[in-house]
Structure formats: structure tokens, C-alpha cells
Amino acid sequence: MTQAAMKTEPAPTTAKKMLSFDNVELYYDHVYALKGVSIELMEGETVALIGANGAGKSSILRAITGLRKIKSGSISYLGDRIDGRPAAEIVKRGIAMVPEGRRVFPLMSVKDNLLMGAFTRTDKQGIEQTLESVLTRFPRLKERFSQQASTLSGGEQQMMVIGRALMAKPKLLLLDEPSLGIAPKLVQDIARAIVAISRDEGVSVLLVEQNSRMALSISNRAYAMSTGQVVLSGVSKDLMHDDRIKAAYLGGDL
């Protein structure tokens, strides 16, 4: 994966704050998953959350989408509090999530899986235009349009669920481990697609990844997490060369 292919531009200095996650605490039963976590994301940015499994990265996405109720703190989206609101309302506000593990409808066709992402929309012509845009973005899906989702490779399924999320025309796209279990060649394709989605469609992206090298190469900023806390944050290109990040997340040999 070349740096040139993955080049990202800084977020515009006039961009508005899209997401504010302020001093959030969340726990499962009596075990803390997030301990006073604060992050923010500006319009047009791609922000990465990196760290080991169990660090709390996915818990942030579940809290944003209303799938987990926070204990304290606040979550704001485009200036409005969304913590405590129903998940369906959050989706309608323009937040779409691609969950870990892909979660396809295996017996449905690629076409029908994609159209499931547009369930909140009523603009038939707009849905058709978005579908064509997704198929242009992911040509493999066009080739397999009528196939059952279960017949696709892991990487092709990941492309499909990203495409399904884009069918909702989101302003903010949440990606949970998109490279997990994917062949290296298709990881590169997916990484390029994430960069292009943000650049071409103006979609802000919050990316959760254990593949820290890939995440840092395609994001503007990043937060490194450990045991439910943010331990380091900054501009991604600077973190790529930070000795602490190298040692903890990049094998020390970048």
C-alpha cells in the first residue's frame, strides 16, 4: 500500500464540528468499557481509532449509534445531543454504521442487500442514482449484482456492506474493523475506497481499526486507545513516526 495512493488532505480549516464525544463513560454490567473518553470529528475529516482488541474502540461506535447507553458524559452531532435518542432516529439524522463482521443477508442478492441500506429513504430516483454510484465505486459488486451474498468473498462482502451504508446517503460513516479477515489485496482496495468516499462525496468517516498502519495512512487524525481510554492523539502522519505508536501499534519498524 503506497503512501501516494492513500494520500489524505487535511480537513478544511473552516469546517464545522460534526461529532463531539465529551467525557463519556460506558460500561457493560459492572465493567467499564469507556472511562472519560473525549474525541471530536470535523466535517470532511477521516478520523481513526486505533488500539488492540478490547481497547474500547467499537464501544465508541455503539454509543454514537444508540446501541449502548452511556453512563455519563455527552455525545453531540452537528451541535445537537444524540445520546439517549433511539437508534432509528440517529440513522435518519445521517449516521450510518458498517459493523464488524460484515453482517450480510446471506440468501439475498447483492442488489437486495444494497437496497436494504436505503430503507429510510423515499426518493426513488435518488435511490437509483445512489445505487449506480455505489456500483461505479465498487465494480466487483456490479459484476455480482444478482448473486447471493453468501457466494461473495470476504472482501467483496465488505465492499457490499460499505455500499449498503452509502445507500442511506450518510453525512457520517462509521466503519468497524473493515480490514478484519480480508485478503491483503482487497484491503488495499477498501482503503482506497474509504479515501475516495470522503474526498469525492464529502462524507466524514470515523474508522475503527486494529490494522494501525492502514488506518493512519488513510486518516487525517487519530486517537490511540488502551483499556477504555485515549492514551495518545494527533495528526495521523505525525503519529506514524511517533516512537510510542511504533512500539505499541506498528511493530516498531515503520
The secondary structure of 22-73 as a DSSP string is EEEEEEETTEEEEEEEEEEEETT-EEEEE--TTSSHHHHHHHHTTSS--SEE
**pTM of structure:** 0.89
The Cα 214–Cα 50 span in angstroms is 10
pLDDT (mean) for 2-14: 52
- Separation CA 208–CA 188 (nearest Å): 16
- Residue 17 predicted with pLDDT over 90: yes
Q: For Cα atoms 66, 57, 74, give the angle at the middle one, nearest 5 degrees.
A: 45
**Residue 9 pLDDT more than 70?**
no
Domain boundaries, the chain: 17-103+168-249
Q: Which residue, 71, 20, 34, is CA-closest to 230?
A: 34
For a pLDDT cut of 70, what percent of the chain falls above it?
Answer: 93
Q: What mean pLDDT value characterizes the chain?
A: 90
Q: Provide CB contacts within 8 A for 8, sequence distance 6+.
A: 46, 195, 198, 199, 218, 219, 220, 236
pLDDT over threshold 90, residue 130: yes
Which pLDDT does position 3 carry in this prediction? Answer: 43
Within 72-123, strands assigned E span 72-77, 80-81, 95-98
The pLDDT value given to residue 10? 55
Task: Assign 4 a pLDDT band (cuts: 50, 70, 90).
Answer: very low
Residue type, 1: M
Question: What's the CA gap between 146 and 149, in Å, rounded?
Answer: 9
For the segment 38-81, what is each residue's pLDDT rounded down to a tens digit? 999 999 999 999 998 889 999 999 999 999 999 999 999 999 99
pLDDT of residue 12: 53
Range list of H helices, the chain: 57-64, 87-92, 110-116, 124-137, 139-143, 154-166, 184-201, 212-218, 236-239, 243-249
CA distance linking residue 190 with residue 217, whole number of Å? 13
User: What cell numbers appear for 77 in the block?
Assistant: 452531532
pLDDT above 50 (res 119): yes
Q: Which residue has the cell 423515499?
A: 122
Average pLDDT over residues 117-125: 91
Average pLDDT over residues 83-102: 90
For residue 44, give Cα distances in angstroms to 123, 155, 190: 25, 26, 18
pLDDT value of residue 15? 76
**Which one is the CATH code of 17-103+168-249: 1.20.1260.10, 3.20.20.70, 3.40.50.740, 3.40.50.300?**
3.40.50.300
